[in-house]
Each structure stands twice: as structure tokens, then as C-alpha cells.
Structure 1
Amino acid sequence: MRIAFLVAIEGIEQIELTEPWAAVGAAGGTPVLVSTEQGEVQAFHHLDKGDTFPVDQVVGDAKAEEFDGLVLPGGVANPDALRMDEKAVAFVKAFFDAGKPVAAICHAPWSLIEADVLRGRTLTSWPSLRTDITNAGGTWVDEQVKVCTGGPNTLITSRKPDDLKAFCETLVGEFGKSADEDGKGRA
């Protein structure tokens, strides 16, 4: 499995990038860091600077067809910046249009709202996004992890870093199912 991790150039909640990244790698998949600019991205531990990570591919050059799934890490600034980038929004929407699984945690559903892909979907997030999700046509639930198959693709969401263990286990399982259905085998 080749999994895109879409992030802005800064403001990513580091653990929401590194834990799913490690889970994909441990399952035999290939995580690919996609961002809005070349170079490195700056992660954060809440409001304090964390590590930097090298960008593998710029979103303007990336295509959903190249990947088996998409992970959207949170952090407040990260998805807020992504939803202002037309190429990033189009990249997110392309996964839904192609029926490919998407996993989003914490504030990451802001990118989904901007891509206009939440009508009729049930998901969770950081609690402050509840009204935004509802206004975008989605149904918000307060659950550790929510898998929604009521749309063109599988959508996996979680609320916060405390949910990462369940989020990672679920996304690896769901991405593996999708790869099996595509005839690519399990990661």
C-alpha cells in the first residue's frame, strides 16, 4: 500500500503524523509525505515546535490515483492552511471521487469540509468542529474512532491524540481491506 499523508508546511500535530506513519510502515505500507511546498514541514507538540520532516511530493504534482489511501493529521494550523490551498483541497476531494479510503484526526476534518465531501457522512473530530461538520451536511458523533461507509469511500475519523491507538489500528485495517478489494493484496 502507498499512503499519502497530506500536511501544510507547518502546524502539524507531530504525534498525529508520526503514529499513523509508523502504523502504515509496520503494516508493510509505504507512507508518502505530501505538502504544499517542497523542503521540510514543521511539526508541533501542541503549541511548541517539534521536529521537521522532509516532503516527498508537492501536492500540485500528486494524484490520488498514485495512492491507496489518504491520512490527514491534525493540529489547528495545519488543516486551516490546507483548506486555503486549492490544490490541497482538490487532492482531498479526488480520494472521495475515486472511492479511496481517507483517515482524518482531530482538526483535520476542516480539509474535508472545504472539499465539500461530508454531506450524509457520519464522523468524529475535535469537539469544536461539531458545528462546522453539521453545517457541512455531516453528522458529528463523540466516539474514539468512527468508520463511515455511507458514501463513495470509507472515511475513518478520530477525535484527538488520546485516540491514536484505535485510529491507527482502524486505518491500517480499512486501508488493507481497500487494497484487497483492488487486488493489490494486504499491506
Structure 2
Amino acid sequence: MTAISNAKILIIATHGFEQSELEFPRDQLRVKGADVHVATLDGKPIKGWEGSDWGREAEAKIADVNSHDYDALVIPGGQINPDLLRAEPAVVNLVKDFHNEGKVIAAVCHAPWVLVEAGIVKGREVTSYLSIKTDVVNAGGNWVDEAVACDKGIITSRKPDDLKAFVSKIVEEIEEGQHDRKAA
């Protein structure tokens, strides 16, 4: 068990992330006392999508982070961000590492695409943005239309309107501790 005030959380993203889906969890988890880091593909600032314009973010390089150093992984959505992330072997391997260590993994909107690529949705209850429902189902996930779905510490949500429930579930699952899962 880890108190949220002692938790270390990694958010991974690249260009085209949904600004609210990165900032809201980051800020709310920090308010609750968690140490939250944002890593990008090259460690340089990235641009997120906010309404109808571009935003910003960055702190570390994804290839330089290690799952052993964190209690949870959060992946924001947006259409572009997860599509680019899922094509990067370092990202897919990092997601598999978090999974295999039984750590919390949280993905919102289109970010379950990254979980699909890592091969960790099969047989799990998962939600996502409606447009990728077929991808989740084709990967063996049990897709549900709910604000938040959680299956053994793998948390998914549909859209920015679900972010309060998403963050609450992240806190709950971190405080519950590691989850027993089969290796991806």
C-alpha cells in the first residue's frame, strides 16, 4: 500500500495530447501530495491540444525513465498523442513493465490504443473514446460505456468529462497497492 501523498507518478505524452487530460490529472494528483513527472519522447517540450489551439508541456525523456521508480503510469489522450506513442517501442515496453510489475496504469480517451499495442487489454473491462471501441474489442477487451473502468489496476476513461472519476480511481488504486497480473 502506498499513500497518495507518498506516490510517485509518471505521465507520458507527446505532441497532440489533450491538454485537459494531462493537466487535470497532473495538477489534482499533485494537490493530493503525489510527486508527478511528465516524460516526452525526446525530453523536450511538447504541444498539446486545448479547445481549438495548441498548448504546451514537458519534463523528462521517456527512454530515461524506469518503471521501478514509479507507483503509477498515466497516459493522456487526444487523437495524435496515443497514435504516436503506440508506434514507439520504448513506450510499449515501458507500459509492459508497469503492467508486469502490477503497478497502476491509467489511460483516458484515445490512450487505450497504447494499452492495446502493449497487449494488456485482452479479457479486461476497458472503456475509451467511442471511436476506438472497435480497436479495444478487437484486442480482446470487454468495452463498457462508463466514466471509468478498472480491472486489476488498469484504469480507463472515455473523455475529459470523466476526469474527476478518473483521478479518484487512480488515487484509490494506488492506495490499494500492487495488482497481481499475468505478464504481457
Q: Please report the TM-score for the alignment, with normalisation by the length of structure 2.
A: 0.90
**Number of equivalent positions:** 173
Look up the match of 2:141.
138
Q: Please point out which of 6, 15, 19 is paired with 2:20.
A: 15
After superposition, what is the alpha-carbon deviation per residue over 1:46-94, rounded to whole angstroms, capped at 9, x for unaligned? 44212x2232x21111111110000010000000000111101111111
Look up the match of 1:67.
70
- 2:172 is the counterpart of 1:173: yes
Question: Superposition pairs for residues 122-133 of structure 1, below 5 Å?
Answer: 122-133=125-136
- Contact 2:105 2:154 survives alignment (8 Å): yes
How far apart in 1 are the matches of 2:9 and 2:52? 27
How far apart in 1 are the matches of 2:23 and 2:140? 30
Please, what is the CA RMSD of the aligned residues? Answer: 1.4
- 2:116 is the counterpart of 1:113: yes
Question: Structure 1 residues 113, 46: CA separation in 2 closer, same or farther (over 3 Å shift)?
Answer: farther
Q: Please point out which of 8, 11, 16 is paired with 1:2.
A: 8
Letter in 2 for 1:160: K
Larger relative strand fraction: 1
- Other structure's SS at 2:110 match: coil
How far apart in 1 are the matches of 2:23 and 2:58? 13
Q: Identity over aligned residues, as a percent?
A: 39
Q: Unmatched 5+ residue regions in structure 2?
A: 1-6, 180-184
- Contact 1:119 1:138 survives alignment (8 Å): yes
Question: Superposition pairs for residues 19-98 of structure 1, below 5 Å?
Answer: 19-50=24-55, 52-55=56-59, 57-98=60-101
Q: Please report the TM-score for the alignment, with normalisation by the length of structure 1.
A: 0.89
- Contact 1:46 1:75 survives alignment (8 Å): no
Structure 1 stretches of 4+ with a deviation exceeding 6 A read none
After superposition, what is the alpha-carbon deviation per residue over 1:80-128, rounded to whole angstroms, capped at 9, x for unaligned? 0001111011111111011101111000001001111111111100011
How far apart in 1 are the matches of 2:10 and 2:173? 15
How far apart in 1 are the matches of 2:150 and 2:38? 23
Aligned-pair CA distance for 1:177:
2.0
Look up the match of 2:3.
none
- Contact 1:70 1:103 survives alignment (8 Å): yes
Name whichever of 162-171 and 13-22 sits farther off.
162-171
After superposition, what is the alpha-carbon deviation per residue over 1:2-36, rounded to whole angstroms, capped at 9, x for unaligned? 1000111x101000001100121111101111111
- Contact 2:43 2:62 survives alignment (8 Å): no
- Contact 1:72 1:105 survives alignment (8 Å): yes
How far apart in 2 are the matches of 1:25 and 1:171? 12
